[in-house]
Structure 1
Amino acid sequence: AETCTNDTESRIISDDLAALEQRKLSVLPTQRRKIYAMSRFEDKSIADISSELNLSHRTVENHLRIGRHEIREYIRQCI
């Protein structure tokens, strides 16, 4: 029973964190949102993203760094 309760609780927490991530992602600037989503949900590398979006490697790195920071801070404030 203890393991089942822990699994259920972990799943609920995971779902809540994913919902917070999606909420913050939806308000990021378009370019940053696109880059973050490609990296996080499509497992694309910075090189792949920069090639696909025709952006410099450094621009993609900066958008990704800022996006991760903003989402991390938002989640931190919510918990």
Structure 2
Amino acid sequence: MTALSNASTDHDLFRQLGTGDSLAAFDLLFERYWKKLYAIAYVRLKSDQEAQDCVQEVFVNLWAKKGDIVTPLSIQAYLFTAVRNKVYNQLHARQIRDKHYIQYLKEVSSVQPNFGGGLEEEELNVIIEAEIAGMPDQMRKIYMLSRDENLSGVEIAGMLNLSHQTVRNQISTALKRIRERIAYYQL
């Protein structure tokens, strides 16, 4: 068994994941990269818990596949790419969840009678419209193009000369604002 130290290179640690020193090598890689990977995830997700979850999933996958992964040229690039992909998947899932949540609220408010605890459809629409009106101009424009014109994120990005990721982030933030506003009035 080879003694591992903080002086071990990333490549040495990665190669040792498949040997008897795998736990020690994994621990050193974790210590070396956790904070950097967390920072990348947090900047995009703006959620402590989601960022921690993404980084944890990357390391869990690394451990689970430790014997199957071919040593990449750059361990750092490999881990950063893995976190970026997890973040992208998380943002995509959040966007879908937000879309379904808004649709659910609209359906529930139009189907169920109001017994004093929920919002009527008119009230819900007023709250949503007020929140949309209070959004920054670019966010409001992107949201309206997405919802009223049924344009895709790619189409909106091309129309407004923005990146597709910017459009996705703006729509996700707009939906989050609407969801939070509705939740506030539901109480």
TM-score, normalised to structure 2, is 0.36
Q: Give the aligned residue type for 1:76.
A: A
- The answer for unaligned runs of 5 or more in structure 2 is 1-109
- Corresponding residue for 1:73? 180
- The answer for unaligned runs of 5 or more in structure 1 is 1-5
TM-score, normalised to structure 1, is 0.80
| 1:45 counterpart = 2:138 | no
- Corresponding residue for 1:64? 171
Aligned residues with identical type, % of pairs: 33
Q: Looking at both structures, which has the greater relative contact order when contacts are Cα pairs under 8 Å and sequence separation is at least 6?
A: 1
- Corresponding residue for 2:37? none
Deviation, 1:42, is 1.2
Q: CA RMSD in A?
A: 2.0
Within 2, Cα distance between the matches of 1:17 and 1:42?
Answer: 21
Q: How many residues align?
A: 72
Runs of 4+ in structure 1 deviating by more than 4 angstroms, as ranges, are none
Max Rg structure:
2
Structure (1/2) with the larger helix percentage = 1
Within 1, Cα distance between the matches of 2:129 and 2:150?
Answer: 16
Secondary structure of the residue aligned to 1:43 is coil
- Corresponding residue for 1:24? 131
